[in-house]
Amino acid sequence: MNPALARHLDWFATLSPATLDEIDAVYADGASFRDPFNVIKGRSQIKALYARMFRSLAEPRFVIGEVIAQGDKAFVTWDFTFAMLGKPQCIHGGTLFVLGSDGRIVDHRDYWDAAEGLYEKLPLLGGLLRCLKRRVA
């Protein structure tokens, strides 16, 4: 595995408010980030997103799974664990990383099912979504 990618994955696995300041070594200044809820550009906006995650969720943590890397690209599976409304939660997903010539991330694209990961766990909306899912199936 690319040594820079290995360092980045270690950073994600140990990400905390205390390690957030190390983001300059992980993301290029003009990096882009996209997930089901966000489309942002720039390291400062990415850092703000992670800071908001730590303020909003209890005990957020990324557990890295499989890594498939080729050249400057890698696809990484992960479990994102946290507590919401006092209950432990887990979202399964994957990320496509593109590294720049200096080894830092220039593009970060998360793939996960927002309905399964969050919406179905909300009291009223979750029941409605589960019912719709059963009907469609």
More confident residue, 15 or 122: 15
In whole angstroms, give the CA distance from residue 3 to residue 67: 13
In whole angstroms, give the CA distance from residue 107 to residue 100: 9
Overall domain count for the chain: 1
**Residue 89 has what pLDDT?**
87
**Which CATH number characterizes residue 126's domain?**
3.10.450.50
**Residue 13 has what pLDDT?**
96
- For residues 46 and 28, the answer to whether their CB atoms sit within 8 Å is no
Q: What is the pLDDT of residues 80-110, one digit of tens each?
A: 999 877 889 899 999 999 999 999 999 999 9
- The domain of 7 spans 3-136
